[in-house]
């Protein structure tokens, strides 16, 4: 008889496939193209892992044509369409509603696959609330749709066993080391997603399907990843004159990641950076708080974790004529709807800042794909940080190739390349 004792699998375990999503609405602003980022990621993935592209509402033949034009081989690519397993769409409303939930961020909604001692796989089905952005709850229709995604994803790859929990949680805030430990954000998982649970109740419920024994509770996520509908944030003048382009309402993968069972890579902001920008100072408080906490924690064997520091990207502000010539472009995607909510009383130009991170990297078979930010015309400080981040990741992943791609267009939309992907570990069942 097969074991029912399932346990969470680390991201660096051998992967069978990775799920990404084709953009339902293409976002291009100035020289920042969402599709270019997607294609760059897919191009890096296909040589080492099967890529599932969720493409509901998109022309499959055009997608394959686009991949071919780019020179990306499609023999390791499969196009799949999300189908909810619950009746949640009003008649005649599907095409206007479904795009908001067609796996824009598979990390958060895709299958959290666990494995038992026989190598058999199951999926954890969490509740969803659209990150709690703008006060959204599990009772919002979007939450009902995205709650179905993990089960659909699992079924697509042949996983039938479902472990249900009523915890609200997104994958970007769950970092497993594969050895019984979960790294997560206390404010996110408790105050923002599950206020009805005490910490002890949450731990008991999370340990049941995930098979973990210990949770590391970093107090808060990054400031620029807070609820993007909250209103103005410090701008270039350090006054509340800017707005967040998007965000996940505080996820761990923007702050810290496991690189192996005992190594955690954590962002670092210098005193000099914190003096230049108020938004950097606010973030520094949180990274320092996280380091103070994590430096005192141990693994299941009682040994301290190896904490490696990695730069936090230079703060970049952009200004757009939100009510004029840039309006149609910005409103074409999620970033526009977010800014319209947060800056509803603003006239003329609007300044916004994206949530950027060097820890939002993808770990896959034989490779790590990292976020980079420098392009021609930008300050050398950005280029220097990009290079330092790659050096840190090379040291943390000695057995893997580390490649970097510019991801700013995706960051404007509220996420990164880790958010854009969800791996499925290879079954070890005989």
The 3-class SS string of 155-183 reads HHCCCCCEEEEEEECCHHHCEECCCCEEE
Q: Are 17 and 53 in contact (CB under 8 A)?
A: no
Q: Is 316 inside a domain boundary?
A: yes
Q: Give the torsion through C-alpha atoms of 335, 341, 345, 351, to 10 deg.
A: -30
Report the alpha-carbon distance of residue 155 to residue 122 in Å, rounded. 10
Q: Which of 341, 359, 356, 334 is nearest to 413 (CA)?
A: 334
pLDDT digits 0-9 by tens, 140-196: 666 677 888 999 999 999 999 999 999 999 999 999 999 999 999 999 999 999 999
Q: Are 198 and 206 in contact (CB under 8 A)?
A: no
Report the alpha-carbon distance of residue 382 to residue 315 in Å, rounded. 9
Residue 320: per-residue pLDDT: 77
Residue 96: per-residue pLDDT: 43
Least confident of 139-153, 230-244, 245-259, 331-345: 331-345
End-to-end CA, the chain: 13
pLDDT digits 0-9 by tens, 385-406: 999 999 999 999 999 999 999 9
What mean pLDDT is predicted for residues 289-305? 99
| Tokens 């034989």 -> residue | 366
Q: Which of 333, 330, 409, 402 is nearest to 369 (CA)?
A: 402
Q: Is 235 inside a domain boundary?
A: yes
Q: What is the domain count for the chain?
A: 1
* 258 beta partners: 264
Q: Are 192 and 249 in contact (CB under 8 A)?
A: yes
Residue 339: per-residue pLDDT: 63
Domain that holds residue 406: 6-425
Count of alpha carbons within 13 angstroms of residue 245, beta-carbon side: 27
Least confident of 8-17, 125-134, 293-302: 125-134
- Kindly state the helix (H) or strand (E) to which residue 29 belongs, with its residue range: strand 28-29
Residue 129: per-residue pLDDT: 80
Residue 430's CB is within 10 A of a number of other CB atoms, namely: 6
Question: Coil, helix or strand for 240?
Answer: strand
Per-residue pLDDT at 418 exceeds 50? yes
Long-range Cβ contacts of 57-61 (<8 Å, 24+ apart): 57/24, 57/95, 57/98, 57/99, 57/102, 58/22, 58/24
Question: Quick one: how many helices (H) and strands (E) in the chain?
Answer: 13, 23
Mean of all residue pLDDT scores within the chain = 89
Q: Is 1 inside a domain boundary?
A: no
CATH number, residue 42: 3.75.10.10
Residue 3: per-residue pLDDT: 54
Per-residue pLDDT at 42 exceeds 70? yes
pLDDT confidence tier of residue 91, bands split at 50, 70 and 90: very low
Q: Is 133 inside a domain boundary?
A: yes
Count of alpha carbons within 13 angstroms of residue 349, beta-carbon side: 8
Report the alpha-carbon distance of residue 339 to residue 270 in Å, rounded. 30
Residue 346: per-residue pLDDT: 67
Residue 403: per-residue pLDDT: 99
């Amino acid at each position: 008889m097969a074991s029912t004792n399932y346990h969470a699998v680390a991201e660096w375990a051998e992967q069978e496939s990775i799920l990404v999503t084709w953009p339902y609405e293409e976002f291009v602003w100035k020289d920042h193209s969402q599709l270019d980022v997607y294609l760059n990621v897919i191009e890096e993935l296909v040589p080492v892992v099967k890529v599932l592209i969720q493409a509901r509402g998109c022309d499959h033949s055009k997608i394959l044509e686009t991949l071919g034009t780019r020179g990306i081989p499609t023999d390791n690519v499969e196009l799949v369409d999300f189908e909810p397993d619950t009746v949640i769409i009003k008649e005649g409303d599907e095409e206007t509603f479904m795009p908001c939930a067609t796996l824009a961020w598979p990390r958060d909604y895709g299958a959290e696959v666990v494995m038992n001692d026989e190598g058999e796989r199951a999926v954890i089905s969490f509740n969803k609330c659209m990150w709690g952005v703008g006060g959204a709850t599990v009772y919002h229709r979007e939450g009902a749709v995205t709650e179905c995604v993990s089960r659909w994803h699992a079924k697509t790859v042949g996983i039938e066993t479902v472990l249900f929990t009523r915890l609200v949680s997104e994958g970007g805030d769950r970092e497993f080391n594969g050895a019984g430990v979960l790294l997560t954000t206390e404010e996110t998982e408790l105050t923002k997603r599950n206020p009805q649970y005490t910490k002890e109740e949450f731990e008991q419920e999370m340990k049941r399907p995930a098979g973990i024994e210990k949770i590391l509770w970093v107090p808060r996520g990054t400031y620029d990843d807070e609820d993007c509908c909250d209103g103005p944030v410090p701008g270039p003048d350090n006054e509340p004159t800017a707005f967040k382009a998007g965000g996940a309402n505080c996820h761990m993968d923007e702050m810290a990641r496991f690189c192996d069972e005992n190594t955690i890579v954590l962002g670092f902001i210098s005193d000099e950076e914190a003096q230049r920008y108020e938004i950097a100072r606010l973030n520094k408080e949180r990274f320092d708080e996280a380091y103070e906490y994590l430096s005192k924690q141990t693994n299941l064997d009682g040994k301290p974790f190896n904490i490696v520091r990695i730069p936090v990207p230079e703060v970049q502000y952009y200004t757009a004529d939100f009510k004029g010539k840039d309006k149609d472009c910005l409103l074409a995607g999620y970033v526009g709807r977010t800014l319209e909510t947060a800056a509803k009383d603003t006239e003329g130009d609007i300044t916004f800042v994206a949530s950027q991170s060097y820890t939002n990297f993808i770990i896959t078979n034989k490779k790590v794909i990292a976020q980079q930010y420098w392009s021609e015309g930008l300050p050398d400080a950005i280029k220097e940080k990009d290079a330092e981040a790659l050096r840190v990741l090379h040291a943390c992943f000695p057995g893997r190739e580390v490649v970097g791609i510019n991801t700013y267009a995706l960051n404007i939309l509220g996420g990164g390349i880790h958010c854009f992907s969800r791996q499925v570990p290879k079954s070890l069942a005989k």
